[in-house]
Amino acid sequence: MPGKDQKEEKTRKPSFYERALEEADRLELQEALGVDGIDQEIALLRIKLRELIEKSPDRIDLHMEAANTIARLVRTRYTISKEQKKSLKEAITKVITDIAVPLGVKVLMRD
């Protein structure tokens, strides 16, 4: 007897992209949705760049294109949004005002 999750999966309407995929690819899409961040993509591209260099050492154009793609992904990975900066600033301010100041730590704060 199928479980509740399996039953719901069979009756669920396919998403926009799932409609264009075969069943095996739909399962892979569901698995990919569980991956958070882009660290795995960066690692995979690094492996593929190494393979490309080994197999086609003269294709500097492709090496550079792959390296630039990796650089963009790394930059994206470590860029924080304005909202994240604001949240971080608020968290630091709270730590300073709630912990450091009561302990007698003198802090110069500026906006």
Q: Give the tens place of pLDDT for each residue, 49-86.
A: 999 999 999 999 999 999 999 999 999 988 888 888 88
22 and 75 in a common domain: yes
pLDDT beyond 90 at 9: no
User: Which of left, alpha, beta for 104 (phi over 0: left; psi -120 to 50: alpha)?
Assistant: left
Query: What pLDDT does residue 108 have?
Result: 58
Quick one: pLDDT at residue 16? 87
Look up the pTM and report it: 0.58
One domain, residues 27 and 71: yes
Task: Check whether residue 31 and residue 51 sit in a common domain.
Answer: yes
User: Do 87 and 63 fall within a single domain?
Assistant: no
Q: What is the distance between the alpha carbons of residues 32 and 26, in angstroms, rounded to a whole number?
A: 10
Encode pLDDT of 83-102 as tens digits.
888 888 888 888 888 877 77
Mean pLDDT of the chain: 83
**Number of domains observed in the structure of the chain:** 2
Residue 10 domain flag: no
Q: Is the domain of 24 the same as that of 57?
A: yes
Q: Which tokens is 85 given? A: 């900066």
**Co-location of 26 and 48 in the same domain:** yes
Are 3 and 10 spatial neighbours (Cβ–Cβ below 8 Å)? Answer: no
Same domain? 49 vs 25: yes
Q: Which domain holds residue 57?
A: 18-79
Quick check: 109 pLDDT over 60?
Answer: no
Q: Do the domain assignments include residue 111?
A: yes
The set of residues, in sequence order, having a beta carbon less than 8 Å from that of 49 and lying 6+ positions away, is 63, 66, 67, 70
